[in-house]
Amino acid sequence: MTRYWWSERIGPGFTHGYEIERLYEERTPYQKLLIFDNEQWGRGLILDGIVQVTFNDEFIYHEMMVHVPIMARSQQVESVLIIGGADGGILREVQKQPQIKRIVQVELDEAVLRACRKYLPEISGDWDDPRVELVIGDGAAYVQKARKHGEKFDLIILDSTDPIGPSIVLFEPPFHQDLAACLSSNGTIIRQSGLPNTMPKVMPFVMARFQDVLPQVEVYQAPMPTYGGEIAFVAASRDGISVKEPGMEFVGRYYNPETHRAAFALPTWWTKLIEEYEDNGRVPVEPLSFC
């Protein structure tokens, strides 16, 4: 197949270019989907013109999103709710923890799930694992229903896209209230919170959302070359206990106890972003203005 150059707008006057071979393309009911191959990064997924995952650096994102909260909680994490994550990378890393007994994954767009299973199987976990309950539906609606039924999870992972398109509802206060209500007494929520370089409002905004409903909120980081820089993760805990210190030993391709601890050492300009947001009265912003 013919290769051609494709670019993603990362920020004002800044793009990433990829020479790609298009493997599959579809307009789903929710977004435009493209599966591609690139010589440097391998196969990957693009949604609405934004790179979501590539084979050669996805392990950084997935390992840091999963193992930081689990290692910090030792054997306490037995049930996990994943919202988003159609590529299956989060599922794969969660399944590496033998103490976990139940995994619920909620994915809105079944077309993305099908495409990733077919074209990105190396990234994905085991969908046939008896611990896994796959739900095709809206994450906000699922959490609202789970709250009404008193359902609890030890870990909730929000592997959503950025606050544009179908993910906007996942950044609103009612959703965060429902999330907090679905946490067990020692539960933790993790969500990706954008790149402060190019979306500087997202990370402090997400922190503020969680601070409204949970007592302990922390930020950590990981390098993501295909995203355009360091990505922020926000961790929020029900019991007020920090997740900065690993309580168990685990070593992945990127994750280890040292990278766990180091991830919480934030650049000065990140802490200033947080302080400025607080100083400005945590003024709500329209989701689209993040980008």
Q: So what's the pLDDT on residue 287?
A: 47
Residues 17, 129 within the same domain: no
Q: Is residue 30 part of a domain?
A: yes
The segments of the chain whose pLDDT lies below 70 read 1, 161-167, 281-291
* pLDDT at residue 111 in the model: 97
- For position 280, what pLDDT does the model report? 79
pLDDT score at 279: 79
Cα 39 from Cα 20, distance rounded (Å): 8
Does residue 86 lie in a domain region?
A: yes
pLDDT computed for residue 131 by the predictor: 97
Residues classed as catalytic: 159
Say if residue 11 is in the same domain as residue 94: no
Where would I find the beta strands (DSSP E) of the chain?
3-11, 14-27, 32-38, 42-47, 50-54, 79-84, 102-107, 132-136, 153-159, 183-192, 216-224, 229-237
State the greatest distance between any 2 C-alpha atoms of the chain, in Å, as a whole number: 54
Q: Same domain, yes or no, for 119 and 16?
A: no
pLDDT computed for residue 103 by the predictor: 98
Supply the pLDDT for residue 154.
Answer: 97
Q: Which of 54, 69, 92 is the last residue of a domain?
A: 54
Which amino acid is it at 280?
N
- My answer on whether 77 and 30 are in the same domain is no
- pLDDT confidence of residue 82: 98
Q: What is the pLDDT of residue 282?
A: 66
- Residue % of the chain over a pLDDT of 90: 82
Do the beta carbons of residue 45 and residue 34 sit within 8 Å?
A: yes
86, two tokens: 């159609």
Q: Evaluate whether residue 265 is within a structural domain.
A: yes
In this structure, the answer to whether residues 106 and 87 fall within a common structural domain is yes
Could you tell me if 268 and 203 lie in one domain? yes
What pLDDT, on a 0 to 100 scale, did the predictor assign at position 165?
Answer: 58
Note the helical H segments in the chain. Answer: 58-72, 89-94, 110-119, 139-148, 173-181, 202-211, 257-262, 268-279
CATH number of the CATH domain containing 14 = 2.30.140.10
Owning domain of residue 49: 3-54
Task: Tell me, yes or no, whether 18 and 105 share the same domain.
Answer: no
* Pair 217, 85 in one domain: yes
φ and ψ at 82, to 5 degrees? -110, 125
Q: Are residues 23 and 100 in the same domain?
A: no
Q: Which pTM was predicted?
A: 0.94
CA distance between the termini of the chain: 33
Whether 291 is covered by a domain: the verdict is: no
Total domain count, the chain: 2
